[in-house]
Amino acid sequence: MAMTLRLTDEETDILRALAEREHRSMQEVVRLAVLERAERAGRAVERDEVLDWAEGRYAALLERLSQ
């Protein structure tokens, strides 16, 4: 799917420098950044689910420890 990405001049310069440093196209850098961001967001959801479970499971213990 094609799309247009509007960047400021400064953002374009940053993207161009990053692409040059990584020997990639600017398009590839953006595509990889999107995938990395999606992976990070997925891990955050998993982390939150584990923390919610642990909070419920150990609520009494946490309450006693806080006293």
Instruction: Summarize the chain as % helix, strand, coil (round to 5).
Output: 80, 0, 20
Instruction: Give the separation between CA 19 and CA 33, rounded to whole angstroms.
Output: 11
Q: What interhelical angle do 9-22 and 26-57 show, nearest 10?
A: 90
Instruction: Give the separation between CA 17 and CA 22, rounded to whole angstroms.
Output: 9
pTM across the whole model: 0.66
Q: What is the pLDDT of residues 20-65, one digit of tens each?
A: 999 999 999 999 999 999 998 888 888 888 888 988 898 888 888 8
Instruction: Give the separation between CA 31 and CA 34, rounded to whole angstroms.
Output: 5
